[in-house]
Each structure stands twice: as structure tokens, then as C-alpha cells.
Amino acid sequence: MSQAPTRAQDPKASPLWDDILALDYKTICEKSEATLVQEGPSLKLRLNFLQGPFIVNPLERSISSPFQDHSPDYQEQVVLLSYLINAAQGPSPGISGVEIGPFSIPWGDLFFQGPHALPGHLIAKAYGKVPEKLSKIALGYGAKVHHGNGFKLKVLPQVELYFYLEPEDDEFPAEARFNFDSNIIYYLALDGIFALSNIVADFLVNPRTLWAL
């Protein structure tokens, strides 16, 4: 599996770009469900992420977003590039349909602690008193209601996650948590899963709007 760059690195200098350039684009597309886009002399990769078609340009080492007033940040670069690379280099089994908690991911019980705790508290804080608002926003990203108080969201073509919100009541504060499709480990390392959870939480708390396509 590819290693993520450190935050101190220039995004364009990330070794993940070198990994992408060393791979066959046809293989990447076949195994990740990205598509090739020809724009002038450049071949680019179009990848659906949170229902929006992001454009990955390996030659320019850039990623463009389909969402208004939004530029992909460091975490999004790590997630999108790692997904494409790991899909191309690994078995890429797709979505299993088996839901697991973060501590059931190998080494997840050690990793998802302290500074790497998953950001469910952000969702709980934003929507604990207004869960109906979360439902509207989640459905707008293509999520499906799951087990009453949860949602199943296909974030990438081969990656699915789940999030749950227990609204605030007279006795208990709101709580929210993340679960994952068991095959996420074929596409993202632990730091990538952490980054993906942060991105999803941010998109839910600060909703983006797609440009008209």
C-alpha cells in the first residue's frame, strides 16, 4: 500500500504523484472505476467522490473539484491518490456489503485513539438537536438511510462508509460514530481512513454545492 506524504511537503512534491505516473492509466480505470478524460494533450482521471466528479491531472500534479468555492486540500489529495494507486496495485475486490467498526480494522483499535479519534463529535455537535437537517444533507450526497438512525454512503466507487447519529435527549448528549465496509482496507491505509472520515464530517457539517454539469 502507498504511504501518505507528510503535511510539511509541497502537495505537488508528494511521492503519490510519482506512483500514479508510474502506473498504466487503463489499469487504474479498470480497477478503481475512474474514467479517462482527454483534455488537449493531457490525459486526466475523472473520479466520483461524494457524488461529484473530481479531475485528477497527474502531469500537472493537481486535482480539481466539482464543488463551488472548494479546492481539494491535503487530506483529499491523500485519499483520492491513495485510492487510485491501491486499487490499481491490489486485488480491488469492491464493496463487500459487510459493515465493521473502526476497531475491527487491523490495528484500528490502536490507531483510532487520541489525535486520530474519528470525528463523530463534529456531526453530533452540528446536528444533535436537528437530526432532520443531517438527513437532508446526507441524502443530497447520495447516502441511503440505514438502520433507522444511520446512513450508508458510497464515498468512492469501491469505498462505502456508514455514519450514525443518536440525537440529544433529556438524559443524554448527542453521539455520532463511523463504521466502514470491510473492504476499505484494500483501498486506504489507516491514515487514509482517518482522512476520509474527516472529509466526510466536514462535507456534512459544511455542505458543498455542485457546479451545474
pLDDT value of position 148: 85
Report whether pLDDT(199) > 70: yes
Report whether pLDDT(169) > 60: yes
Is there a domain that residue 62 lies in?
Answer: no
- Which band of pLDDT confidence, cut at 50, 70 and 90, is reported for residue 73? very high
Q: What are phi and psi of 99, to 5 degrees?
A: -90, 135
Is there a domain that residue 2 lies in?
Answer: no
Report whether pLDDT(94) > 60: yes
Q: What is the mean pLDDT of the chain?
A: 92
Q: Count of domains in the chain?
A: 1
Is there a domain that residue 125 lies in?
Answer: yes
Is there a domain that residue 208 lies in?
Answer: no
- pLDDT tens, residue by residue, 172-194: 999 999 999 999 999 999 999 99
CA distances from 100 to 19, 79, 85, 123, 196 (A): 29, 20, 23, 20, 16
- pLDDT tens, residue by residue, 149-159: 899 999 999 99
Expressed as residue numbers, the domain containing 106 is: 99-185
Instruction: State how far the Cα of 153 lies from the Cα of 176, in Å rounded to an integer.
Output: 15
pLDDT value of position 9: 56
The residues with which 146 forms a beta bridge, in sequence order, are 150
Is there a domain that residue 49 lies in?
Answer: no
pTM: 0.92
